[in-house]
Chains A and B, each alone.
Chain A
Amino acid sequence: MFILETLGLVMDLNQLAVLAMFLMFIAFLFRGIPVAYALVGVSLIFVLIAEIFLDPNRSLFRDVIEFDRTGIDYRRMGALGGRLFGSIVKNPVLVALPMFIFMGLMLDQSGVAQRMMRSMQTLFGAMRGGLALTVLLIGIILAASTGVIGASVTLLGVMALPSMLKQNYFKPISTGTIASAGTLGILIPPSIMLVIMSDQLAISLGDLFMGALFPGLLLGALYIVFIVVYGFISPKAMPAPENPPELGWAAVRDVLLSVVPPMFLILLVLGSIFAGIATPTEASGLGALGATLLAAANGKLSMTVLKDVSRSTMNTSGYIVGIFLAANFFAFILRRYGGDEIVEAMVTSAFTDPYMIVVFILFIIFLLGFLLDWIEITLIIMPLMLPIILGLGLEIDGFGVVRDPEVVWFAILVAVTLQTSFLTPPVGFALFYLKGVCPPSVSLGHIYRGVVPFVLLQLLGLFIVFEMPWLVTWLPSVAYGN
């Protein structure tokens, strides 16, 4: 009681409860409990707390500490039925989620990327820094043809890292290049992260896809410039091979031929959206078919591959939708405790300048990126931020065409920020994937050191997009302008 009284001087019980919800969630997470279970578990515990301790009519706490009623009771949770059906099942935008996953898995099986890697390595490997540039180029092309990252990092790691090490590239720069090139897939459209953002923020997926294109390419370009400059400053870090092989036109032709299939896929997905033939959701289906056709053309498609790709799609979309389900329930309970208003008040009272508030939010998301990865941040944090952004009165030019341009801009800023969450230790997806395929001579320390410059480049990219919102809003305005 005394503890509660003391705490009551600092914050009221609702604030305390909201804080406790987040802390308990983080604690469960680090105990190794799956995200979805942790989210529903915390929510259930706070349902019980509301039912047992926080009923204003019978609470022992009433005299000790202030609180608002949560209004949680068993009967009222019946609203959950409609919520779950509306947000998970009857959600045409989310149809794109499994389809893009299917497409990504199928593309990995098609051998397209391996072929591209082999031919480009032969051609560019002879130049100083050529292998690093190859990795970046393939990273960008793969990013534009698939919406998931796992395989890109793995593939680049298995194929490029041994050659890089053989040519005596420094280990940190090699692993850093691979990890960051591989993660571009989640920013450059099509991307499952953007699919989920468009659902959570209620904005057009087409706008988001088009809006993410320039920022994604910008990041890729920053990486390339960095590698080139780094190569000049420190030639020892990326040496050319001692006796380069003879190169002929055959090598050039191989590269061109290997780039055709991914270009076909990019055209199919982004082209059909741009041309207005298909909605972004439908483009996911076209892309899935395109990837299947590419696998068939390379003789890699069999009943087993189709079966395993479908089952893996089932698995991946299953766990993502699991977090969807859980985050939905969590948000429902959090709101009952007044969590959204508390978070909103906290964020908006931090600064008066609306742009500083945006910076503040991005900073929080950057920090959260060290602990959580994009799925949790997008599903838990983004819905809380939406009303704040809408209330700021930001003036972002939508060229008269883009709806809610400030939200689209904000979503892309968050997407760029979340790029860092893949690379920041201790919980960076890309780092784990990469560690899994590294030879033993490469330590986790090398990988950690290697991502530092790329995280800084991502922050630079973030700054550029922040200063020039037209990078985001111009393309959607052209794409949908007519």
Chain B
Amino acid sequence: MSSPDEFIAITDPGEAGREDHSIVDRLVIQISNLFAWFYPILMMAIVSQVILRQAGHNQAWLDDLQWWLYGAAVLIGIAYAVTTNSHVRVDIFYEGFADAKKARTEVFGLAWLFLPFTLLAWDMTLHYAVASVVADEGSDSPNGLHNLWILKVFLNTSFILIAVAIWAAYVRNLARLTEPVLWKQLFYALPATLFAVNLVIYYAVYWVVRLTGPEDQRVNRITREAPFEEVAFLGYEVSPMVLAAFVVTAILIGAAYMLGRKPAAAKG
């Protein structure tokens, strides 16, 4: 039997399965490793605040700093846990699955469930962050940490990191099933691909309309008028942006398929 210390010994979660990690996985882990230092710093910030307060020098900004550090670190932690495959699961059945079935479960969970949500959360926090920047939002407390917008922009940005981590983990798992060429990557993550394409089209069209529109256009009306206005389609009112997303996604996957075929055809 090994010694107890070996069982208790701590390991670096980012090093497990390193040989399978792509450069993107490593990037997520490097960023997370950097942010991991926020925890010892947070510990010192808390201790300093307790000591300073006992000495009669309460620092309001230290109170703010605590949840700034915590908030930034745990958001990055979500991406880290994606890369290290640590998100908790019920594994009574999973344990017994064949490798391919495990990989399919991962692909579905990452690309069909979590990635679309991450894109949604990114889009939802984008408006929130922009509003905060525009208002130059500060702290609740007069002596607190100002520039609260930094943290809100950080929240928004962290979803991009989470999305990147998911995509890298998804491709890693797809490789266990099939050769992960580009068209397959796009196709096996269809809901996420569709949604991402939809977001790109939406914001592209929005900015084209906004920048080319008349000087006196009302910015908050843009998304309610043409070309955003919903159109009738198979008995439903559908946004043209959604229809465009379907078309563009099909073209995209088709193009990736053709491009991916060429070298193989040349060889034959």
Give the complex CA separation of A78 and B75 in angstroms.
19
Nearest opposing residue in chain A for B66, CB measure: A95
Give min CB distance, A404 to chain B, whole Å.
24
The answer to whether A265 has its CB under 8 Å from any CB of chain B is: no
Asked if B73 and A151 make an inter-chain contact with CB atoms under 8 angstroms apart, the answer reads no
Give min CB distance, A69 to chain B, whole Å.
15
User: Are A318 and B46 also in contact (CB < 8 A) when A82-B128, A306-B40, A311-B36 are?
Assistant: no
Give the complex CA separation of A158 and B1 in angstroms.
9
Asked if B237 and A314 make an inter-chain contact with CB atoms under 8 angstroms apart, the answer reads no
Task: Please pick, from B7, B44, B114, the residue contacting A437 in the complex, using a CB distance under 8 A.
Answer: B7
The answer to whether A179 has its CB under 8 Å from any CB of chain B is: no
Asked if B54 and A277 make an inter-chain contact with CB atoms under 8 angstroms apart, the answer reads yes
Report chain B residues within 8 Å CB of A308: 10-12
Give min CB distance, A176 to chain B, whole Å.
20
Chain A contact patch, size range: 35 or more
Classify the interface of chain A: helix, strand, loop or mixed. helix
Report chain B residues within 8 Å CB of A281: 46, 66
Give min CB distance, A437 to chain B, whole Å.
6
Give the complex CA separation of A109 and B9 in angstroms.
7
Give min CB distance, B168 to chain A, whole Å.
16
Known: A32-B89, A90-B67, A97-B74. 14 other contacts (CB 8 A): A29-B90, A32-B93, A35-B89, A37-B113, A58-B235, A80-B121, A81-B127, A84-B155, A97-B70, A272-B50, A310-B40, A312-B11, A426-B92, A427-B90
Asked if A58 and B236 make an inter-chain contact with CB atoms under 8 angstroms apart, the answer reads yes
Asked if B109 and A105 make an inter-chain contact with CB atoms under 8 angstroms apart, the answer reads no
Report chain A residues within 8 Å CB of B5: 111, 114
Give the complex CA separation of A323 and B77 in angstroms.
12
Please list 27 pairs of residues, one from A and one from B, whose beta carbons are closer than 8 Å in the complex, sorted by A's number: A30-B92, A33-B105, A33-B109, A37-B110, A38-B113, A40-B114, A41-B112, A41-B114, A82-B128, A89-B71, A89-B151, A92-B67, A94-B67, A114-B8, A155-B8, A158-B7, A278-B50, A289-B44, A311-B36, A314-B39, A314-B73, A319-B77, A319-B86, A321-B74, A322-B81, A326-B117, A427-B90
Classify the interface of chain B: helix, strand, loop or mixed. helix
Nearest opposing residue in chain A for B63, CB measure: A92
Asked if B77 and A310 make an inter-chain contact with CB atoms under 8 angstroms apart, the answer reads no
Chain A to chain B: the 9 pairs with minimum beta-carbon distance, closest first: A285-B46, A318-B77, A81-B128, A41-B113, A32-B94, A89-B71, A34-B87, A318-B81, A40-B117
User: Are A89 and B75 also in contact (CB < 8 A) when A41-B114, A84-B155, A315-B80 are?
Assistant: yes
Nearest opposing residue in chain B for A26, CB measure: B90
Nearest opposing residue in chain B for A439, CB measure: B1
Interface string of A261-287 (1 = CB under 8 A from B): 000000000001000011001101110
Chain B contact patch, size range: 35 or more
**Residues of B near any A CB (own CB < 8 A):** 1, 4-5, 7-14, 32-33, 35-37, 39-40, 42-47, 49-50, 54, 63, 66-67, 70-71, 73-81, 84, 86-94, 97, 102, 105, 108-110, 112-114, 116-117, 120-121, 124-129, 151-152, 155, 235-237
Give the complex CA separation of A437 and B63 in angstroms.
42
Report chain B residues within 8 Å CB of A325: 78, 121
Q: Which of A75-98 contact B (CB under 8 A)?
A: 77-78, 80-82, 84-85, 88-92, 94-95, 97-98
Asked if A314 and B109 make an inter-chain contact with CB atoms under 8 angstroms apart, the answer reads no
Asked if B46 and A286 make an inter-chain contact with CB atoms under 8 angstroms apart, the answer reads yes
Asked if B70 and A108 make an inter-chain contact with CB atoms under 8 angstroms apart, the answer reads no
Give the complex CA separation of A108 and B11 in angstroms.
12
Asked if B90 and A32 make an inter-chain contact with CB atoms under 8 angstroms apart, the answer reads yes
Asked if B114 and A37 make an inter-chain contact with CB atoms under 8 angstroms apart, the answer reads yes
Asked if B50 and A282 make an inter-chain contact with CB atoms under 8 angstroms apart, the answer reads yes
Asked if B63 and A89 make an inter-chain contact with CB atoms under 8 angstroms apart, the answer reads no
Asked if B47 and A37 make an inter-chain contact with CB atoms under 8 angstroms apart, the answer reads no
Asked if A329 and B117 make an inter-chain contact with CB atoms under 8 angstroms apart, the answer reads yes
Report chain A residues within 8 Å CB of B78: 318-319, 321-322, 325
Q: Which of A363-387 contact B (CB under 8 A)?
A: 371-373, 375
Give the complex CA separation of A105 and B46 in angstroms.
18
User: Are A31 and B105 also in contact (CB < 8 A) when A311-B36, A318-B74, A427-B90 are?
Assistant: yes
The interface centre, meaning the residue of A81, A315, A318, A329 with most chain B CB atoms within 10 A of its CB, is A318
User: Are A109 and B43 also in contact (CB < 8 A) when A88-B71, A315-B13, A322-B81 are?
Assistant: no
The answer to whether A454 has its CB under 8 Å from any CB of chain B is: no
Give min CB distance, B119 to chain A, whole Å.
10
**Residues of A near any B CB (own CB < 8 A):** 28-38, 40-41, 43-44, 52, 58, 77-78, 80-82, 84-85, 88-92, 94-95, 97-99, 102, 105, 108-109, 111, 114, 151, 154-155, 158-159, 162, 272, 277-278, 281-282, 284-286, 288-289, 292, 305-319, 321-323, 325-326, 329, 371-373, 375, 426-427, 437, 439
Give min CB distance, B111 to chain A, whole Å.
10
The interface centre, meaning the residue of A32, A35, A58, A97 with most chain B CB atoms within 10 A of its CB, is A32
Asked if B8 and A317 make an inter-chain contact with CB atoms under 8 angstroms apart, the answer reads no
Nearest opposing residue in chain B for A155, CB measure: B8
Report chain A residues within 8 Å CB of B44: 289
Give min CB distance, A147 to chain B, whole Å.
15
Asked if A44 and B10 make an inter-chain contact with CB atoms under 8 angstroms apart, the answer reads no
User: Are A36 and B49 also in contact (CB < 8 A) when A30-B93, A98-B70, A289-B43 are?
Assistant: no
Nearest opposing residue in chain A for B40, CB measure: A310
Asked if A289 and B155 make an inter-chain contact with CB atoms under 8 angstroms apart, the answer reads no
Asked if B10 and A315 make an inter-chain contact with CB atoms under 8 angstroms apart, the answer reads no
Task: Please pick, from B39, B77, B90, B121, the residue contacting A321 in the complex, using a CB distance under 8 A.
Answer: B77
Asked if B4 and A155 make an inter-chain contact with CB atoms under 8 angstroms apart, the answer reads yes
Asked if B237 and A95 make an inter-chain contact with CB atoms under 8 angstroms apart, the answer reads no
